Amino acid sequence: MFMFNVKTNEKVHWIGLTRSEMREHVAKLGQPHFRADQIYNWIYSGKIKSFQSMANIPKSFRAILDQTSGIHPLSLVKITGQNSSLTRKFLFRLSTDEMIESVLMQEGNRTTACLSSQVGCAMDCDFCATAEMGFQKNLSVGEIVDQFLFLQQKSEKIITNVVFMGMGEPFLNYTRVIKAADLLNEPDGIDLGARRITISTVGIIPRIKQFTKEGHRYKLAISLNGATQNQRLQTMPAAKKYPIHMLIDAAKNYYETAKRFPTFEYVLMNNLNDRTTDAENLIKLIGNLPCKVNLIPYNEIGGNYKRPSHGRLTHFINALKNAPFTVTVRWSNGTEIDAGCGQLAVNAGGGVQS
């Protein structure tokens, strides 16, 4: 039966397949291609949980689908946070038993899904909880998209934005992340606007160049977290391979080619990168590059790094008032359930059972 993965003898899952891939599969089962179109519509816009819910699919074909394939590559283990909470964290189990986390955030009219792209992370950023897991594996396209579909099922409002800022470095799983974003953006499927999808990277320069060359319309966010090379090296080992001046050059090339503003994420950590001189160095570093800088007060994970005091934050922000680029302050919601930026790490204890 073709829908089994011959290497693992596991069922292949429909979530993560494109329309053309689905047509290939149903053709091998002797079905007309419009059956694939029906399945595609059910899976990506119908919020169904089983093949038996696909009312316009013949019962006999539904039975074959049940025997030979599955829908969800993920299983939901638990949800941390109540339905009324502005932020909820979701724990998922992969078919290979590893676990990942995703976050659903509500702020005004904006509902954002924060998705993971890897199990753990190889970047070893010193201030990030995910780094403590180490790198285990890349997620499949289906495992990425399935996070969104589960979160949408549990959300009272339509998800308006997606950020690839969960567990892992998206640009080290580049091909699958782009394909997942394409599926989220597909007009006949999930239909999330390209400008509502943000892909974040610690600064994998070759992939930034590839992203630029390929002309993707998704937003690009770069984790800067320092105004000098030495500052980045203190907390981000990737800075050794991808120096800060080369990273800024790649961001400039992105703007000049794509005509879109890159976003720089700057996590503020006490006595490390939060001095007014650091703000001045940040202005010198970025210069006149049209961009947005998101300042993120550090979300503590019990390690050596602390969030700056209100006074230090205020002084830093004030030092950027005349900067030639847009500056915003992003306070992470959900820190009380370890769902804030940099806090994701698999923890199976507690939470609300789904």
Catalytically active residues are 101, 341
Q: Are 325 and 290 in contact (CB under 8 A)?
A: yes
Q: Which residues contact 242 (CB under 8 A, 6 or more apart)?
A: 203, 204, 205
Q: What is the DSSP letter of 186?
A: -
Helix 276-286 and helix 310-319: axis angle, to 10°? Answer: 30
Please give the backbone phi and psi of residue 254, each rounded to the nearest 5 degrees, phi first: -60, -45
CA distances from 303 to 82, 231, 237, 311 (A): 28, 18, 17, 22
Which residue do the tokens 């590893």 mark? 98
Nearest-angstrom CA–CA distance, 170 and 263: 15
Please name the helix (run of DSSP H) or strand (run of DSSP E) that holds residue 199, with its range, or none.
Answer: strand 197-201
